[in-house]
């Protein structure tokens, strides 16, 4: 059955290629290891240490508490810092990359 508005591809039955991985970018100037700590500790550690890096540099916060997935981006919005990206860590947890703006 053909549906209106859908075009058939050129006969290839090969699966679609996965989207390209997001470029990692330069390594962070500072890595804060908050693995094993519950929120809000990762946020407190970030707020305490963000002034250690120059404006424009990136800080990575490593955390495995699921609350950090919402708390870190929310803190960035509240403090006008740039939330660059979130990456899944191979050992579990996430790496949150934040660019210092002021």
39 flagged as catalytic: yes
Catalytic residue among 29, 30, 35, 39: 39
Q: Give the strands of the sheet with 58-63, arranged side by side.
A: 30-33, 58-63, 94-99, 82-88
Q: Which positions are catalytic?
A: 39
């Amino acid at each position: 059955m053909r549906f209106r508005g859908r075009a058939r591809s050129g006969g290839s039955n090969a699966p679609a290629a996965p989207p390209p991985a997001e470029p990692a970018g330069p390594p962070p100037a500072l890595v804060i290891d908050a693995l094993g700590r519950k929120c809000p500790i990762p946020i407190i550690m970030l707020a305490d240490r963000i002034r250690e890096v120059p404006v424009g540099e990136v800080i990575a916060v490593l955390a495995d508490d699921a609350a950090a997935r919402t708390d870190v981006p929310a803190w960035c919005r509240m403090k006008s810092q740039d939330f660059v990206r979130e990456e899944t860590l191979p050992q579990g947890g996430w790496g949150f990359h934040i660019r210092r703006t002021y």
